[in-house]
């Protein structure tokens, strides 16, 4: 079998599988003990009892070196081994039930198929069991009927005899272990090309290329590996304007995922079910003193995250307290808003009224963007100074007044590049809304959220259309002019860090401050938008910022390339899952449950033992060990096919094998290829015989 032939194994004897057909292998009569070589000679090189009654054969001095066992398979330097084909070393013949009945493929018709077991009854063993059996029978072992092989004279008896010798270096020496190890080493193939010859392709490729001209896409293609995009083809592997570096991107996505799964630790008295939503979690602080609460127009509002029952997705619910719906038609604009899908507008989903909060509330549901911040929080909110270290405290305590350490409002300047990005995105959102015959109505630093690197979205759209329904309102053109005015005020606020920067009292000061930091285009745009005398349109605004729009488009396309590349890197995330699938396909197939050759021998037996090693470890008290890192480590090593060795122990703990991950990978490959060949043969209507 290929596995044993390649292993640099120190394996001990392999227990004969219980259900092996004993009838096939008739043990040779036990040799007479007088003719058998004394084990003292084998082990120690001499026998102290040679002339004192030891009944075993003692060869002359020149022959007394421990002989190589009469291996069923010649050593690597033997000419015979060079002629052993990979097929001959492969696992025993397996014929699937569905194919065995009506198909017989001659071995020569399929060069990859090993010779059937029945044809291997000659001197050349082809399976682990045959090799082991042949070796053991040649060395005088006989089957006791329970799967264990013992010598005519019990090992314990002989051990007692040898135990009289005091050789500390050989304490615990196991003759059988050593002999079996010799056999395995004798079967070792040292030809470096052997492995490649045997597996010219990757284990999945092998079945692909070996298969007859059948080009089925399933399931094989899903198991092929996807190559990485060469780095030189990726224009910008580092952070781009819209996409952070890979590490930061992963971190941000991880944090978003975590945030989206947070739950309330204390009972906040929120309704358990709310018109098809459940698991409400407030996104902003609740139980704030009434004096500290900011109003949303004339109303108080609270933002929650909730799970929608119909799709299981997280949504953002804005509840407006104490709102009494005057007419059902007030919800009509929400219908229009829900049809606007724009990258810079938080998607409006639906609106409803409820009494679940023990009042009359309006609730508008939006798409949820975890870990988003308002523009105000991100860029304008005064940030407290970092807490000084002890040394800093001492230094400042001596050299500067103590109030230096207090939280002073820190003016934050948005980078001009980022500012233009925000301007372009918001202008684009306004354009989309105005084109739909609506007005945004709320363009404010506290209602525009930053959802990613340099990405903003206008939130709370549609809500004023419902709240102000039925009240006297300006016409649409006026509302759209107000949008542009609010847009101008927002630019001033962002440039000066002051929400009231565009009020008549502050305007001159704000313009001066803006001049110092930002280019004239920003100033010209802001002043244009804030001038109430000129009738403006969003198209004029877009004309003014056309060069910046092109720059944004380039950045957006670059972001697409970057994200595609990131996605490419994630394609192989399913590596271990595919490996697990293969184990699932191979291990304990019910249709082969009675076929000992499938599950208890050859490659499949190794895979089964490896499965036990990975998943069924127990501690010294026999308790299951559920160590995910052990599982991941093992599977990764197996996937890579490392040369590292591990010891597999049979379930009866009577035998063990030392094998490398590379060997096990080859076993998995062989077993899986067998299944694939059977599958493709069956699907193509061809001969379905495998192996």
Q: Which residues bind ligand ATP (CB under 6 A)?
A: 283-284, 294, 303, 316, 346, 366-369, 372-374, 377, 446-447, 449, 459
* Nearer Cβ to ligand ATP (337/366): 366
CB of 459 to ligand ATP, least distance (A): 4
Binding site feature residues:
318, 446-447
Rounded CA gap, 205 and 200, in Å? 9
* Nearer Cβ to ligand ATP (447/486): 447
CB of 607 to ligand ATP, least distance (A): 48
CB of 300 to ligand ATP, least distance (A): 9
CB of 416 to ligand ATP, least distance (A): 24
CB of 488 to ligand ATP, least distance (A): 20
**Under 8 Å between Cβ of 462 and 340:** no
CB of 417 to ligand ATP, least distance (A): 23
> Over 16-55, what HEC string results?
CCCCCCHHHCCCCCCCCHHHCECHHHHHHCCCCCCCCCCC
Rounded CA gap, 90 and 685, in Å? 26
Task: Read off the tokens for 238.
Answer: 């580092």
* Nearer Cβ to ligand ATP (183/316): 316
3-state secondary structure of 485: helix
**Under 8 Å between Cβ of 185 and 9:** yes
DSSP strand pairing (277-282 vs 273-274): antiparallel
* Nearer Cβ to ligand ATP (137/301): 301
Tokens 């930061």 belong to residue: 248
* Nearer Cβ to ligand ATP (105/301): 301
CB of 346 to ligand ATP, least distance (A): 4
**Under 8 Å between Cβ of 481 and 536:** yes
Nearest-CB residue to ligand ATP? 316
CB of 442 to ligand ATP, least distance (A): 9
User: Alpha carbon of 214 to those of 113, 209, 222, 683, 685: distances in Å?
Assistant: 17, 10, 16, 9, 10
Task: Read off the tokens for 576.
Answer: 């271990």
Residue 149, phi then psi, degrees to nearest 5? -105, 130
**Under 8 Å between Cβ of 657 and 14:** yes
Rounded CA gap, 236 and 402, in Å? 47
* Nearer Cβ to ligand ATP (88/494): 494
**Under 8 Å between Cβ of 507 and 489:** no
Q: Residue 437, class by beta-carbon neighbours within 10 Å (0-12 exposed, 13-18 middle, 19+ buried)?
A: exposed
* Nearer Cβ to ligand ATP (4/304): 304
Rounded CA gap, 148 and 143, in Å? 6
* Nearer Cβ to ligand ATP (133/376): 376
3-state secondary structure of 482: helix
Binding site feature residues for ATP:
318, 446-447
User: Alpha carbon of 524 to those of 5, 389, 412, 511, 582: distances in Å?
Assistant: 81, 45, 21, 10, 65
**Under 8 Å between Cβ of 419 and 494:** yes
CB of 385 to ligand ATP, least distance (A): 22
* Nearer Cβ to ligand ATP (132/372): 372
């Amino acid at each position: 079998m290929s596995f044993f032939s390649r292993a640099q194994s120190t394996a001990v004897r392999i227990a004969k599988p219980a259900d092996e057909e004993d009838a096939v292998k008739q043990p040779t009569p036990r040799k007479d003990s007088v003719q058998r070589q004394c084990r003292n000679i084998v082990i120690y090189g001499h026998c102290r009892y040679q002339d004192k009654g030891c009944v075993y054969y003692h060869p002359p001095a020149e022959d007394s070196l421990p002989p190589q066992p009469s291996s069923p398979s010649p050593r690597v330097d033997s000419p015979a081994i060079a002629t052993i084909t990979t097929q001959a070393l492969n696992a025993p013949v397996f014929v699937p039930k569905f194919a065995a009945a009506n198909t017989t493929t001659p071995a020569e018709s399929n060069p990859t198929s090993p010779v059937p077991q029945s044809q291997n009854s000659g001197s050349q063993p082809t399976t682990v069991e045959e090799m082991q059996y042949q070796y053991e029978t040649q060395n005088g072992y006989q089957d006791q009927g329970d799967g264990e092989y013992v010598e005519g004279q019990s090992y314990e008896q002989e051990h007692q005899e040898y135990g009289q010798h005091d050789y500390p270096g050989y304490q615990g020496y196991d003759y059988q272990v050593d002999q079996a190890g010799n056999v395995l080493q004798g079967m070792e193939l040292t030809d470096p090309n052997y492995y490649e010859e045997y597996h010219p392709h990757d284990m999945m490729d092998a079945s692909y290329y070996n298969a007859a001209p059948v080009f089925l896409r399933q399931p094989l293609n899903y198991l092929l590996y996807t190559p990485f995009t060469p780095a030189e083809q990726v224009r910008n592997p580092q952070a781009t304007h819209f996409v952070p570096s890979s590490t930061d991107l992963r971190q941000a996505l991880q944090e978003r995922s975590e945030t989206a799964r947070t739950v309330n630790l204390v009972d906040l008295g929120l309704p358990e079910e709310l018109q098809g939503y459940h698991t409400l979690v407030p996104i902003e602080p609740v139980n704030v003193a009434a004096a500290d609460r900011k109003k949303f127009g004339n109303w108080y509002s609270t933002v929650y995250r909730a799970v929608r029952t119909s799709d299981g997705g997280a949504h953002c619910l804005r509840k407006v307290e104490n709102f009494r719906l005057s007419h059902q038609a007030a919800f009509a604009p929400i219908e229009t808003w829900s049809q606007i899908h724009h990258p810079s507008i938080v998607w409006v989903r639906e609106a409803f009224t409820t009494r679940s909060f023990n009042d009359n509330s309006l609730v508008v549901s939006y798409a949820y963007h975890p870990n988003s911040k308002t523009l105000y929080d991100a860029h304008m909110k005064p940030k407290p100074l970092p807490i000084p270290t002890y040394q800093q405290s001492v230094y400042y305590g001596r050299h500067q007044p103590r109030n230096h350490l207090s939280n002073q409002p820190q003016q934050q300047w948005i980078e001009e590049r980022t500012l233009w990005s925000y301007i372009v995105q918001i202008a684009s959102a306004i354009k989309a809304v105005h084109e739909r015959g609506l007005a945004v109505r709320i363009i404010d630093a506290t209602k525009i959220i930053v959802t990613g690197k340099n990405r903003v979205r206008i939130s709370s759209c549609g809500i004023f259309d419902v709240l102000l329904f039925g009240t006297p309102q300006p016409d649409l053109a006026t509302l759209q002019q107000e949008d542009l005015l609010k847009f101008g005020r927002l630019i001033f606020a962002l440039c000066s860090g002051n929400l009231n920067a565009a009020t008549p009292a502050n305007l001159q000061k704000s313009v001066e401050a803006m001049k110092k930091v930002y280019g004239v285009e920003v100033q010209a745009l802001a002043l244009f938008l804030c001038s109430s005398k000129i009738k403006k349109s969003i198209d004029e605004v877009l004309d003014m910022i056309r060069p910046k729009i092109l720059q944004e488009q380039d950045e957006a396309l670059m972001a697409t390339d970057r994200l595609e590349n990131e996605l490419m890197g994630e394609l192989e995330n399913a590596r271990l899952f595919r490996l697990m699938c293969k184990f699932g396909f191979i291990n304990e197939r019910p249709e082969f449950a009675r076929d000992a050759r499938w599950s208890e021998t050859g490659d499949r037996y190794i895979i089964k033992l490896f499965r036990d090693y990975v998943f069924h470890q127990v501690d010294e008290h026999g308790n299951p060990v559920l160590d995910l890192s052990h599982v991941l480590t093992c599977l990764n090593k197996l996937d890579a096919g490392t040369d590292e060795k591990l010891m597999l122990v049979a379930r009866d703990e009577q035998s063990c094998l030392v094998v490398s991950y590379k060997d096990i990978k080859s076993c998995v490959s062989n077993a899986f290829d067998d299944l694939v060949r059977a599958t493709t043969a069956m699907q193509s209507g061809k001969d379905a015989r495998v192996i």
